[in-house]
Amino acid sequence: MNKIVAKEQLSENVFRMEVEAPLIAAERKAGQFVIVMIDEDKGERIPLTIADASKERGTITLIFQTVGASTLKMSHLEVGDSIAAILGPLGQPTHIMGRDGGKPGKVVCVGGGIGVAPMHPIAQALKAAGNDVTIIMGARNKGLFVMEKEMREIAGDKLILITDDGSSGRKGLVTEPLKELCEAGAVDEVIAIGPPIMMKFCALTTKPYGVKTTVSLNTIMIDGTGMCGGCRITVGDETKFVCVDGPEFDGHKVDWDQMLKRMAIFKPQEAAAKEHACNLYK
């Protein structure tokens, strides 16, 4: 049982929760995730990225969007309630240029929607390792931006906001400033985290420039420890398990179309489960 110590609604469907998990808080590194269960008897196991952690308080911060039944139920938990199970930290930590090998350089972080949340600890680590960090934050509209302040603290005036409707920052798609930055040259690495379709197009954008592009995937999982293979994707010519080999991969090698299809496998059941859960709160 993991007690919720803080909760905040960031936008219509996005919540931030700080949860007691001292062992995970002590071990986690940027890029890792946890598996969460709201009900240990009949609930499902869902992967969520760790947005932040405090060793002192023994807590981790999760930022999630209510996309299915479990996240909807989770959003109805309040401070003092507990999350039934949290397993982690799982997956390989992010390779931070300048810290884990190589010299610091120019890195562009692209965060789409709540993908900004898992990007935050990565951008922080990149900055701490001496990299020149530019952050592109994209959302459908102004109301959907999360952690703008925190990201500005890292990137300063190198924070580029972009919305589909122009309600904040530039109007357009994250791939537009990304392309301009690549064209201007000297980008050493791009890290993109967000909806799969955004990551796919970021990878397609950087490919002609030969800029290394790392993406963080959030496929369907059960155990999260390599046991089921439900999260498998094709990277280059190989099958990889997102839970243990990832969650980060070379965006230029991921078979995006296959991954998108695999992620849609349970769409009808998920929609029905969400509707059922919605009715519980009416």
Partner 1 sequence: MTPKERMAIPCQEMPEQDAVVRARNMKEVALGFTAEQAKIEASRCMQCPTKPCMTGCPVAINIPGFLAKAAEGDFDGALKIIKETSLLPAVCGRVCPQEKQCQKFCTMGKLMKNVDKAVAIGRVERYCADHGDAGEVVCAPKTGKRVAIVGSGPAGITCAADCAKAGHDVTLFEAFHKAGGVLVYGIPEFRLPKSIVQKEIDGLKKLGVKVETNYCVGRTRKVSDFLEKDGFDAVFVGTGAGLPKFMGLPGENLVGVFSANEYLTRANLMKAYLEGEAETPFWHGKKVAVLGGGNVAMDASRMALRLGAEKVYLIYRRSLEEMPARKEEVHHAKAEGVEFLMLQNAKEIHGDESGKVCGMTCLKYELGEPDASGRRSPVAIPGSEFELDVDTVVVAVGNASNPLIPATTEGLEVNKRGNIVVDEHNMTSIPGVFAGGDIVLGAATVILAMGEGRRAAAGITEYLKTK
Which spans of this chain sit near partner 1 (rule: CB under 8 A)? 23-24, 27, 37, 39-45, 69-70, 84-90, 222-230, 232-234, 239, 244, 255, 257-258, 261-262, 264-266, 269-270, 273, 276
Pair of tokens at residue 260: 């998108």
For residue 244, the minimal CB distance to partner 1 (Å) is 7
Nearer to partner 1 by Cβ, of 79 and 272: the residue is 272
What are phi and psi for residue 8, nearest 5 degrees?
-150, 135
Nearer to partner 1 by Cβ, of 83 and 193: the residue is 83
Nearer to partner 1 by Cβ, of 75 and 131: the residue is 75
Task: Give the contacts of 215 (CB within 8 A, at least 6 positions apart).
Answer: 191, 192, 193, 199, 202, 203, 248, 249, 250, 251, 254
139-153 burial, b at 16+ Cβ within 10 Å, e below that, comes to beeeebbbbbeebee
For residue 245, the minimal CB distance to partner 1 (Å) is 10
Query: How many CB atoms are located within 10 Å of the residue 85 CB?
Result: 16
For residue 187, the minimal CB distance to partner 1 (Å) is 31
CB 129 within 8 A of CB 104: yes
What does DSSP say about strands 106-112 and 189-193: parallel, antiparallel, or unpaired?
parallel
For residue 221, the minimal CB distance to partner 1 (Å) is 10
Distances (CA, A) of 194 to 137, 138, 150, 202: 10, 9, 17, 10
For residue 251, the minimal CB distance to partner 1 (Å) is 18
Nearer to partner 1 by Cβ, of 27 and 132: the residue is 27
Nearer to partner 1 by Cβ, of 150 and 270: the residue is 270
For residue 44, the minimal CB distance to partner 1 (Å) is 4
CB 67 within 8 A of CB 44: no
Nearer to partner 1 by Cβ, of 5 and 273: the residue is 273
Query: How many CB atoms are located within 10 Å of the residue 227 CB?
Result: 12
Nearer to partner 1 by Cβ, of 171 and 276: the residue is 276
Torsion sign, CA atoms 179, 182, 184, 189:
positive
For residue 118, the minimal CB distance to partner 1 (Å) is 17
